[in-house]
Amino acid sequence: MIKDILFSTITVFNYVVLIYFITMNIWYFVLNIIAYRGLKSYLVRLKVVSPNDKILMKSAPPVTLLTPAFNESQNCIKSVKSQLKIKYPDMKILFINDGSTDDTLEKMLTTFKMEPAFLPKVSQLETKDVKQIYQSQIYPKLWLIDKENGKKADALNVGINYCQTPLFCAIDNDSMLEEDSIARVVIPFIEDVRTIVSGGIIRIANGCKFENGHIQKVDLPRNIWARFQVMEYLRAFYGGRLAWDRLDASLIVSGAFGVFRHSIVVAAGGYLHETIGEDMELIVRLHRYCGDNHIPYKIRYLPDPIAWTEGPTTLKTLGKQRDRWQRGLLDSVLRHIGMLLRPKYKKVGMLAMPFYFIYEMIGPFIEVIGYVAFLLLLLTGNASTAFIVVFLLVSIVMGMCLSVFTLVLEEISFHRYPKFKHMLNLIFVALVENLGYRQMNSWWRIKGTWSYMRKNQSWY
Amino acid sequence: MSVDITLDKLSQFFSFNNGHGLLSILVLCILFFFLITLVLFFFAVFLRIKNKLITQQDIHFQKNWDSVFLEVMHDRIHPFDGYKKLKKKHSIRYLFYLEEYVDLLKGKEKERLLTLGRLSLKKVYRYLCSRDHGKIIYGIHLIGIFHPEEQYKFLMLNTNDINTTLTAIREMHAVDDISIKEQLVKILFKLPNISYIYISNLLVEMGNDIVPFLRQVIKNRFTAPNEQMIAIETVRRLHNMECLDLSEKVLTQAQDPGVLSSWLRYLEDQKDMNQLELIRPFIEHPNPHVRTAAIRVYLGLSDTLSAEDILRIFNDSDIIVPINAVEIIARSRTFPYLSTGSIENLKWKDIYKEVLI
């Protein structure tokens, strides 16, 4: 009797997995097709509107670059030097030393000849204390805020408090922006005053050659884990974010590169301290804030402003990163679960939130439990080996298909990986990643969910 | 009975064990998606090869184009003769390449290359009638560069499409005809959500010819503050003084804070001493942006700074007022005495102390 019930439960669950799997892949295909259409019209526009256009740049609003840094002694000089080379008519750089315990501060002070200076605090977001503000004597647009340690969100909030411009750009210290990235990413703010956030694409820097903080040669990383990430990033940014942008329902603008309207972020309360995914949480909160207050707004993603970032190269660090991302996702979605299926939040509430909830949040669980359930059916003789093999093959072929679709999107647009062997390599990665890497990702995400639940019992 | 049989058949069909039906569907899925993957793979390879070929072709053609452009530019040959020497002279790639030259040039050299470009526009005109949005945009862009007056004929038909219209107007600032310019301004006023600074910069490119029209807007369109704001901002950016006499009308009749602060910024730029009395009341306006603009222009024009002014500015409810006043205060020749006690009581004392330093 118990055996029968168990068998029926597993069988029903397997049907759930099957339906889940089919709907998920249909969704991803639809998103890719939307992304393809969006990319095509964007490319047309790009051909006639250059970011260096004289009239556009005359109308460009001033931007402050916020770079929070904690113990970044090795990267800080290189990264600030690359930021100083960004071509933009009115830009200030605010380097925020978040209580580093290494020699980040000393290096910055001596390299850029920084002296104590005054900068008025324009907003009052709650943060840890600021110790001193400095200004470079060589580059007057470069400022440094030395503050007590309070993590990334706190450092960014300090930056927002001292930001004097209508827009600010939050970037990671290890990200390197291309020279015209800011000029490209602010265009939506000029052409549509409803724009409150605009983000660019993040690409993996491993394997590429940089000189003075600027990309000289694009190449694929030798490290296999980093190579998998190249494919993953392309898929996420082309297939995912571009489509969500077309649907006007972007839920993520990467913390590594995004430009925000200062006034609206301050009004919404700035970055949240007690979350691990402060970038996604802020975007979801901005959707909520604007929806609640009936503010017309746009959150945009553009595929051509590029920030290059180093991806993890060991399984351990990669696992930790994915664990952190999953916790961030869970935290952002669960904090704002009230937006789910609420027509007030338009496509965000009716489309994006359910998608993230079903496919991104609980997806890894269903995938891994599905593997276990199929294994059980196989062991108990209630499923044929042929069926299991065929089902796995469907999943692999669909995954491959989506990845190759992403490569087509890269080819019709910016084809930044110049050599023919790059493309073949990426196609090979698209095939191989389904045999182990994808499953590992699901495992890391389950671990992330587990650690999130353990630390936040009160939520459940 | 028959329902039972159907259900039995269905459950067998979808069974994980003996259900060949489900298995067949999944096998078909594999084949279908494998086929799509294969097609996409070959398409990606095709695109890569095509891109490579285009790059190589471009290098080859650009050598020919460069030499002809240089000869036409320096008037060594007539544009008509240059046109005959060109390879792929009707391609969009050629016209975009020519655009790069045109962007860098001025005067007669530019004019000669524009003439050369105009000879290749036949295909581009066909683009304007295309159903492909991309081709229409390319067409508008290229005709806007090489033949702006012609482009206007097309623009009249397409004012509903904001992107296309904006693209068209962006390319048309070189147009000479004042009546066309006025039409363009009217269309620009109708485009919602575009930054008013951007629109005014587009209008600035059209030159001083449009000022009489903008003057009418400033004078009469109090019901459309956005249009007024764009008009004022354009006049300000053109450094044009022809609208200064409208000060009294604007400052007494305008209600919109955007219009008021734009006008005050215009007065600040023009440094017209006669307006001081009109400006003074706006120093206490409820909107911080109007207060800021008023304080800047008032202090800038009067060049006298009283202790009362200092107290007002540095006790303002909004920080943008003292931040924006600092620059003007620092320029002031007279600086009133304030006791240490009253400095310490200022709301924005940090900023004030910085001015003192």
Least CB-CB distance to A382: which of B17, B34, B354?
A: B17
User: Is residue A317 a contact partner of residue A59, using CB atoms and an 8 Å limit?
Assistant: no
Closest CA to A275 of A153, A374, A171, A394: A153
Report the share of chain A in percent with pLDDT over 90: 73
Q: What is the pLDDT of residue A458?
A: 39
Return the DSSP state at A299. E
Q: What is the pLDDT of residue B327?
A: 80
The structure tokens 């919602």 sit at B192
Handedness of CA B333, B338, B340, B343 (dihedral sign): negative
Angle formed at CA A230 by CA A276 and CA A332, multiple of 5 degrees: 20
- CB contacts of A408 in chain B (<8 Å) are 40, 43-44, 47
User: Is residue A377 a contact partner of residue A11, using CB atoms and an 8 Å limit?
Assistant: yes
Least CB-CB distance to B134: which of A44, A121, A193?
A: A44
User: Is residue A269 a contact partner of residue A210, using CB atoms and an 8 Å limit?
Assistant: no
List the pLDDT tens digit at each of the 357 positions of chain B.
566 666 666 666 566 565 677 788 888 889 999 999 999 999 999 999 999 999 999 999 999 999 999 999 999 999 999 999 999 998 999 999 999 999 889 889 999 999 999 999 988 888 888 888 888 888 888 888 888 777 666 555 455 677 777 877 787 766 778 888 888 888 888 888 899 999 999 999 888 999 999 999 999 999 999 999 999 999 999 999 999 999 999 999 999 999 999 999 999 998 878 888 889 899 999 999 999 999 999 888 886 778 888 898 999 999 999 998 888 887 776 777 778 888 888 888 888 888 777
Least CB-CB distance to A408: which of B17, B47, B195?
A: B47
In this model, does residue A11 exceed pLDDT 80? no
- CB contacts of A58 in chain B (<8 Å) are 201
Give chain A's mean pLDDT: 92
- CB contacts of A12 in chain B (<8 Å) are none
Closest CA to A149 of A72, A74, A80: A72
Q: What is the pLDDT of residue A381?
A: 78
- CB contacts of B348 in chain A (<8 Å) are 120
CB contact under 8 A, A15 and B14: yes
- CB contacts of B41 in chain A (<8 Å) are 404, 427
Closest CA in chain B for residue A407: B44
Chain B nearest CA to A168, separation (Å): 17
b/e string for A349-387 if b means 16 or more Cβ within 10 A? bbbbbebbbebbbbbbebbebbeebbebbbeeeebbeeb
Least CB-CB distance to B16: which of A59, A193, A387?
A: A387
Average pLDDT over residues A134-155: 96
Q: What is the pLDDT of residue B19?
A: 61
Q: Which residues pair with A116 in a beta bridge?
A: A134
Q: Of all residues in chain B, what percent are helix, strand and coil, respectively (each to 5)?
A: 75, 0, 25
User: Is residue B300 a contact partner of residue B329, using CB atoms and an 8 Å limit?
Assistant: no
Closest CA in chain A for residue B200: A59
Enumerate the H helices of A64-144 as residue ranges. 76-84, 104-111
**CA–CA dist A256, A171 (Å, integer):** 5
In this model, does residue A459 exceed pLDDT 70? no
- CB contacts of A16 in chain B (<8 Å) are none
Are β-strands A257-261 and A195-204 bridged in parallel, bridged antiparallel, or unpaired?
A: antiparallel
Closest CA to B113 of B98, B126, B123: B98
**CA–CA dist B192, B197 (Å, integer):** 13
Chain B nearest CA to A75, separation (Å): 33
**CA–CA dist A194, A154 (Å, integer):** 27
SS (H, E, C) B204-250: HCCCHHHHHHHHHHHHHCCCCHHHHHHHHHHHHHCCCCCCHHHHHHH
- CB contacts of A42 in chain B (<8 Å) are none
Closest CA in chain A for residue B28: A394
Q: What is the pLDDT of residue B333?
A: 64
Closest CA in chain B for residue A388: B16
C-alpha B284: how far from its chain's center? 33
Chain A nearest CA to B126, separation (Å): 17
| Better pLDDT: A385 or B185 | B185
- CB contacts of B17 in chain A (<8 Å) are 381-384, 387
Q: What is the secondary structure of A321-360 as a DSSP string?
A: HHHHHHHHHHHHHHHTGGGTT-GGGHHIIIIIHHHIIIII
Closest CA to A303 of A226, A391, A242: A242
User: Is residue A397 a contact partner of residue A287, using CB atoms and an 8 Å limit?
Assistant: no
Longest Cα–Cα distance of chain B, Å, equals: 104
Res. A147 pLDDT band, cuts 50 70 90: very high
- CB contacts of B346 in chain A (<8 Å) are none
Q: What is the enclosing helix (H) or strand (E) of A135?
A: strand A130-136
Q: What is the pLDDT of residue B11?
A: 65
Closest CA in chain B for residue A405: B40
Interface test with A, best of B18, B22, B24, B29 (most A CBs within 10 A): B29
Interface test with B, best of A44, A379, A403 (most B CBs within 10 A): A44
What pTM value is reported for the model?
0.92
Q: Between chain A and chain B, how many beta carbons pairs sit less than 8 Å apart?
A: 138
CB contact under 8 A, B33 and A55: no
Interface test with B, best of A8, A39, A48 (most B CBs within 10 A): A48
**CA–CA dist B283, B260 (Å, integer):** 12
In this model, does residue A414 exceed pLDDT 60? yes
Q: Which residues pair with A91 in a beta bridge?
A: A63
Task: Report helix angle A385-412 to B20-73, nearest 10.
Answer: 10
Chain B nearest CA to A299, separation (Å): 14
Q: What is the pLDDT of residue B12?
A: 63
Contacts of B69 (CB under 8 A, 6+ apart): B82, B98, B101, B113, B116
Closest CA to A186 of A201, A202, A171, A169: A169
**CA–CA dist A53, A186 (Å, integer):** 13
Please state, in angstroms and as integers, the Cα–Cα distance from residue A157 to each residue in A68, A91, A125, A201, A323, following that order: 10, 19, 6, 23, 24
Highest mean predicted confidence (pLDDT) among A14-18, A339-343, B172-176? A339-343
- CB contacts of B134 in chain A (<8 Å) are 40-41, 43-44
Chain B nearest CA to A164, separation (Å): 9
Interface test with A, best of B14, B41, B326 (most A CBs within 10 A): B41
CB contact under 8 A, A394 and B48: no
- CB contacts of B320 in chain A (<8 Å) are 122
- CB contacts of B16 in chain A (<8 Å) are 11, 14, 377, 382-384, 387
- CB contacts of A377 in chain B (<8 Å) are 16
CB contact under 8 A, B40 and A401: yes
Closest CA to A336 of A363, A354, A359: A354
Contacts of B52 (CB under 8 A, 6+ apart): A420
User: Is residue B95 a contact partner of residue B142, using CB atoms and an 8 Å limit?
Assistant: yes
**CA–CA dist A113, A135 (Å, integer):** 8
Q: What is the pLDDT of residue B152?
A: 64
Least CB-CB distance to A394: which of B18, B30, B37?
A: B30
Q: What is the pLDDT of residue A457?
A: 39
CB contact under 8 A, B47 and A383: no
Least CB-CB distance to B44: which of A55, A398, A407?
A: A407
Give the CA count within 13 Å in the CB-facing half-sphere of B182. Answer: 11
CB contact under 8 A, B193 and A192: yes
Q: Which amino acid is at A427?
A: I
